[in-house]
Amino acid sequence: MLKFPKSAAIAALALAVCASPALAEGDADAGKKVFNKCKACHTVGDGAKHRVGPHLNDVFGRTAGTAEGYKYSKAMIAAGEGGLVWDDATMAEYLANPKAMIKGTKMAFAGLKEDADVANVSAYLKSFAAEPAEEPAAAEDAAVETEDAEVETAAATTEDTAEPGAAEMTFEASKGAFGLGRVATVEEITAWDIDIRPDGAGLPVGKGTVADGEPIFTDYCAVCHGDFGEGAGRWPVLAGGHDTLTKERPEKTIGSYWPYLSTVFDYVRRTMPFGDARSLSDDDVYALTAYLLYLNDVVEDEDFELSNENFTSIRLPNEENFFDDNRMSEPHYAQGVEPCMSDCKPGPVEITARAQVLDVTPEGEGDENAGGGID
């Protein structure tokens, strides 16, 4: 496994998508795995909703830019009005290089590199097409089966409730002023209490190597954060930025700014992948964290294994530049005295620094510069 500069990664990607993908027969099961790159912005299946991009149920056969309730870019709406309909050929071309096919699309994803991935994702999306209408006789049989199932379910529920001790389950009433809700159970609190402290408190048992983390990062993270943590579009940069904190525009990455490794682990475990949080195992999170250390040159061995046993021995480069919040020791907090509200500092007020103008808002109407979206 080798690390390359951003320019090399972009050049390799450009070569990969120059040719139009072949219209091969895809594998829906393999496409489900490839779709992990899309789940940050799109959903499919029961209850699918629009996110950064529209949901992709029934996308095949749909005119581009017409999914109800989603705000498309002007470019995508114009493409639909011009007759673009999603089929095998148009979907393959778009998935390979969205911005080349529809200039001005909101889709930030650069495209799938392999023809097989394109075909497999297309096959997976086809599996979420609307079911054909049932024949009357079949519908009648289905209704009878449903009714029978409901009767069986009701009987089972009655039997379950009748089991010893089932009716004795009670919850403690709320002690709040309005008496709403109830007190959370120990099990519920345990499920929520997953934070990790810098001293390692709260760490789950597990382990993962840098080499284990690379494919996980490629499948779940690279679509937003770049192949090497350099960031894609406006998504956060995770690697690099060394020695930039004193510059006018510092690059605050895990290796250049973050104070503790526990912050990385906790954030990944709690909120990532975007749109599918808490789907990674603890071993996956250890492996991803190890790979992020490797991208930031904190560790240099691909075989390095991060675990709950050696976790607290890892120190991030900028840790010593952070200090404890000592406000609770100030007289206002510690002694309960009233804070000074006027004439607190002798002499005239002096302006020692001014706010920095970042100019991060893009010019133009904005739709074309926003995040994700397949159609």
SS (H, E, C) 297-318: CCCCCCCCEEECCCHHHCCCCC
Q: Is residue 118 one of the residues assigned to a domain?
A: yes
Asked whether residue 250 is domain-assigned, the answer is yes
Residue 191 in any domain: the answer is no
Phi and psi at 92, nearest 5°, equal -65, -45
Helix (H, G, I), strand (E, B) or coil at 363: coil
d(CA 275, CA 196): 21
Provide the pLDDT for residue 340.
82
CB atoms within 10 A of CB 279: 12
**Cis preceding-peptide flag for 273 (omega within 30 of 0):** yes
Q: Which residues contact 138 (CB under 8 A, 6 or more apart)?
A: none
DSSP 8-class letter at 47: T
Q: What is the pLDDT of residue 15?
A: 41
Domain edge (last residue) among 100, 126, 152: 126
Per-position pLDDT tens, the chain of length 375? 445 444 444 444 344 434 444 466 888 888 888 888 787 789 888 888 887 789 999 999 999 999 988 888 888 999 999 999 999 999 999 998 888 899 888 786 778 888 888 998 899 998 998 754 444 455 455 554 555 555 454 444 444 444 444 445 577 888 788 888 888 888 888 888 999 999 999 999 999 999 999 999 999 999 999 999 999 888 999 999 999 999 999 999 999 999 999 999 999 999 999 888 999 999 999 999 999 999 999 999 999 999 999 999 999 999 999 988 888 888 778 888 888 888 887 888 788 888 777 777 766 555 554 444 555
Task: Report CA-CA distances (Å) from 55 to 6, 68, 89, 128, 171.
Answer: 31, 10, 20, 11, 39
CA 3/CA 1 separation, integer angstroms: 7
Range of the domain at 62: 19-126
Specify the amino acid at residue 3: K
359 located within any domain = no
Among 90, 110, 126, give the residue marking a domain's end. 126
In a domain, 62, yes or no: yes
**Domain total in the chain:** 2
pLDDT at 158: 42
The pTM is what? 0.55
Q: What was the pLDDT predicted at 293? A: 98
Domain CATH number, residue 90 = 1.10.760.10
**260-281 confidence digits (pLDDT tens):** 999 999 999 999 998 889 999 9
Helix/strand/coil (H, E, C) string of 17-36? Answer: CCCCCCCCCCCHHHHHHHHH
